[in-house]
A = this chain, B = another copy of it.
Amino acid sequence: MHFTLLSSDKHTGARRGRIHTAHGPVDTPVFMPVGTQATVKTLEPRDLEAEACQILLCNTYHLYLRPGHEVVKEVGGLHRFMGWDGAILTDSGGYQVLSLAKLRRITEEGVTFQSHLDGSRHVLTPERTIEIQLALGVDILMALDECPPHDADTAYHQASMERTLRWAARCRAVHPGDEPALFGIVQGGTLRTLRARSAEETRRIGFSGYALGGLGIGEGPAAMYTTVEETTALLPADAPRYLMGVGTPQDLLECMARGVDMFDCVLPTRNARNGTLFTSTGRVNIKGAAHACDGRPVEEGCTCYTCRHFSRAYLRHLYVAGEILGLRLNTIHNLHYYLDLMRQARQAIDAGRFPTWKDATLARLCVEPTTPQHTQEMHTND
């Protein structure tokens, strides 16, 4: 993998780039749909291809437990298993272990946990997560990290961040190359000095890309935006920056304005299955009785398959009747919205009009835009 920085916005930290992987290019800023169990829920690869999707995120924790990385390897790797020819990034499994597994215990060695599926005992170490991700055969691997609660005390944040650095070094030691790529993860909560040390030391170890972990977990948008801005300023310009697990349309715009290149989030797909649909003027709850006889599409002018063929009345009916097709049509629309938003962002950066596009887009969403404070630093940090 290698990364080409194509251009930088003059007024914000927004960047246009391209990640070159063994499974094709990935144009950044990019939103990666989440395919937890080797499927973006309800969708087929051809649906993602129809949206010009270039990269997916899959979850190592889930695939390790079921069907097992050895099974995936035996049938030809994750791409072949799920019929997806584009790029795949996997997380390390650490986040899911800490949020889903039972009786988890963190030691210097790694994380011991019981499966949420059958209670079986497992140990996830830095070396083991690399082994699992290599067996899956993906394009971008993530180093093992700990994501502490945002309101953990400073001492815990510090100790956890230092251990994450040692885990990062161990991951890099067993996988020193760039093919597949390995990304390090910057932690440190919203504590500026911890983030700075984490960024500096992670950068010193040296990775193909750098992720920002531990954000979008309750600290609030203002703190997140500030931390993102301060952290990207400390990361090399010639490597992609990935903000893990974030976020709302507003979050994407504000954080790409602060130098983030990659995002992933379950929001568009999970909201779709809850009947909440994204539009350029805000969210629509398709369950509402107001839609019962509404012959209009979710969004006028939207070019997704759902909006081209079906009315709000039909989508509401499918939802109320418990029909699986409704979950799928909603997912198609929401992912189209997210991927189209990123497409528009890339075009705006290319055309040198990112700030006005961002403000206009947020205004339509009735969201107050915020302005990055440290733009100068961003452009002088490497």
Contact = CB atoms under 8 A, between A and B. Distances in A.
Interface of A: 37-39, 41-46, 62, 66-67, 71, 74-76, 81-83, 292-295, 305, 309-311, 313-314, 316-318, 320-321, 323-325, 327-329
Given A75-B311, A313-B71, A39 B318 contact: yes
Nearest to A273: B324
Given A39-B323, A328-B42, A314 B83 contact: yes
B81 A311 contact: yes
A328 B305 CA distance: 17
Given A41-B325, A75-B295, A81-B317, 13 more contacts: A44-B325, A44-B328, A66-B320, A67-B321, A71-B317, A75-B314, A81-B311, A81-B313, A83-B310, A83-B314, A324-B324, A324-B328, A328-B328
A293 B328 contact: no
A325 B81 contact: no
A40 B243 CA distance: 40
Contact of A325 (B42, B309, B311): B42
Nearest to A37: B321
Contact of A317 (B45, B67, B323): B67
Contacts of A323: 37, 39, 41
A317 B38 contact: yes
Given A38-B317, A81-B311, A325 B293 contact: no
Contacts of A67: 292, 313, 316-317, 320-321
12 contacts: A38-B317, A39-B323, A41-B323, A42-B325, A44-B309, A44-B325, A45-B309, A62-B321, A67-B320, A75-B311, A75-B314, A324-B328
A300 to B, nearest CB: 16
Contacts of A76: 295
Nearest to A74: B293
Contacts of A43: 325
Q: How many copies does the complex hold?
A: 2
A66 B317 contact: yes
* A41, A44, A62: most-surrounded residue (chain B CB, <10 A): A44
A173 B71 CA distance: 64
A293 B325 CA distance: 29
A75 B324 contact: no
Contacts of A37: 317-318, 321, 323
A274 to B, nearest CB: 14
A183 to B, nearest CB: 26
Given A292-B67, A293-B71, A295-B76, A41 B324 contact: yes
**Candidate in A62, A292, A293, A327 with the most chain B CB atoms within 10 angstroms:** A293
Contacts of A71: 292-293, 313, 317
Contacts of A313: 67, 71, 75, 81
7 closest residue pairs by CB, A with B: A83-B309, A67-B317, A39-B325, A75-B295, A37-B321, A42-B324, A75-B313
A74 B295 CA distance: 9
Contact of A293 (B75, B82, B295, B311): B75
A116 B307 CA distance: 32
A320 B118 CA distance: 13
A22 to B, nearest CB: 20
Nearest to A66: B321
A309 B83 CA distance: 6
Contacts of A328: 42, 44, 324, 328
